[in-house]
Structure 1
Amino acid sequence: MRNDRLREAMLNRGVTLPMLAEHVGVDPKTVERWVTQGRIPYPRYRRPIARLLKQNETYLWPDAVTAKRKTELAKSELVTVYPRRSAVPNDLWRDFMDQAAERVDILVYAGLFLVEQDRRFTDKLRAKAEDGVQVRVLLGDPTSPEIERRSLDESVSGVMASKIRQVMDRYAEVRDVPNVAVRFHCTTLYNSIYRFDDQMLVNTHVYGLPAPHAPVLHLQQLSGGEFFETYADSFDRVWQTATSDWPSAVAR
């Protein structure tokens, strides 16, 4: 059976059979069988193909990994759990930023701590973007009722909008930098997400607790795994609903 998902992904990215074959180091006839006969590539090929085509492995080859193996992979993708965000070592945040070579994705309401614990944070984002790293930042819209709802959940009205406006001033420094995109969302978040290539920190949200006191999952993406991709997909869904129009307080 033909793999229409793989074929369509190649067409959308302008990738030909010879190009894909060269990318992973196989014969073009092998790639042709992957497309026309639905043959499933070995794991060592699936991940670079998925990254090239900007698709998930589980989308391109949904039958490649058994349910049991997916469960095993999920356990392996979970590197560690921190009981609260403040327990995550500051060096870990810096190392992830320094090592990022392809993408940095940030989904928060405010994420004020990022610029507070590293005063050069936005400078580093600028430098990464200038090196070709794709930077996407999702901040809460400070005018939205969802933000006030979160403030009330933490028992202090208006606190979240105030934090967002503080960080907006910092992100305004890089909003016109190529490869940097900042959008504003009105989503009720269940997690804040910080992705640096194949590393991700997921700060869970707990009713009545501010984010620094809620647990954090450290995930590392593995070929064929779904745990990491679940949160990566969540980021993308919020990204699609967000607006690039900056609230008037900092509009230029």
Structure 2
Amino acid sequence: MPNDRLKATMASGGWTYAELAAQAGVDAKSVERWANLNRTPRLRAARLAADALGEDLFALWPSLRQPRTTRAVSPELVALYEQRADVPVSMFVNLLDRATRQVDVLVYAAVFLHEAYPRLNELLRERSAQGCTIRIAIGNPDSDAVGQRGGEEKFGHGIESRCRIARMHYRPLVGIPGIEIRMHGTTLYNSLYRADDQLLVNSHLWGMNAFSAPVWHLRRAPGGSLFDNYVSSFEAVWSTAEPVEAT
């Protein structure tokens, strides 16, 4: 099938194959194939030819129009919250309460959980008694990373104090089978709250407290990689963390 639009444009301007070929930097046989066999030229040659003809590039060769880039939403994304303060504590608690295999928590302190739900330690004991492996990584109050975060958030020594409070909250769990508490000194890019195949990610913003930063709720799904990437991040931090002692 010929390219009727190209042939008509060439005819109206009196263009020969050789003349248009010279303008487009190709041979005359190529232009003949464009016109009679509806072949699509390379983009550079098409632009030169269209400019010479005074015609719209995509009117002559619609197939050169690039499809609009679409943003794929991850199949693992369940919900996105503008800030952690929008997420009810009951959501954190319910996720942990339904866990049967694995609970992983990576934070600096997150004392809001114990403050809003005083039964948290009891819940974690119950989960471990049912065979759930529980790993909690909290910030080392003496680490450079924790001190720097306090300065960035203009919180002074507040974060260090909260890390110490978190250690106090979790210390009664030390030594319970299936539960391990560690302290880490890494830069906290995200706070992670994992319960089996679900994950709440509190993404941190420089200079802002965690409660003002967004949270996305992920659920592991075929074809997704976000969940596993965050799990790998947790494992990397966990491997550097030191156990919290019972005393």
State TM-score, norm by structure 1.
Answer: 0.68
5 Å-filtered alignment, 1:66-81, equals: 75-81=74-80
Structure 1 CA distance, aligned partners of 2:166 and 2:210? 16
Shift in Å at residue 223 of structure 1?
2.6
The answer to whether the 8 Å contact 1:74/1:225 transfers is no
5 Å-filtered alignment, 1:88-103, equals: 88-103=87-102
Instruction: Give 1:183's aligned residue.
Output: 182
Indicate the SS of the match to 1:125. helix
**Which protein, 1 or 2, shows the higher relative CO under an 8 Å CA cutoff with sep ≥ 6?**
1
Structure 1 CA distance, aligned partners of 2:88 and 2:168? 26
Indicate the SS of the match to 1:229. helix
Instruction: Give 1:170's aligned residue.
Output: 169
Q: 1:200 and 2:199 equivalent? A: yes
Indicate the SS of the match to 2:177. coil
Instruction: Give 2:152's aligned residue.
Output: 153
The answer to whether the 8 Å contact 2:89/2:113 transfers is no
Shift in Å at residue 72 of structure 1?
9.2
Structure 2 CA distance, aligned partners of 1:181 and 1:90? 23
Structure 2 CA distance, aligned partners of 1:172 and 1:182? 8
Bigger radius of gyration? 2
Instruction: Give 1:139's aligned residue.
Output: 138
Instruction: Give 1:236's aligned residue.
Output: 235
Indicate the SS of the match to 1:172. helix
Divergent runs of 4+, >3 A: 71-74
Instruction: Give 2:127's aligned residue.
Output: 128
Structure 1 CA distance, aligned partners of 2:195 and 2:137? 14
Gaps of 5+ in 1: 1-70
Q: CA RMSD in A?
A: 1.7
The answer to whether the 8 Å contact 2:181/2:244 transfers is no
The answer to whether the 8 Å contact 2:191/2:202 transfers is yes
AA at the equivalent of 2:75: S
Structure 1 CA distance, aligned partners of 2:161 and 2:100? 32
State TM-score, norm by structure 2.
Answer: 0.69
Structure 1 CA distance, aligned partners of 2:228 and 2:72? 12
Structure 2 CA distance, aligned partners of 1:223 and 1:73? 15
Shift in Å at residue 213 of structure 1?
0.4
Cα distance change, pair 224–76 in 1 and its aligned pair in 2 (3 A) = closer
Structure 2 CA distance, aligned partners of 1:222 and 1:171? 31
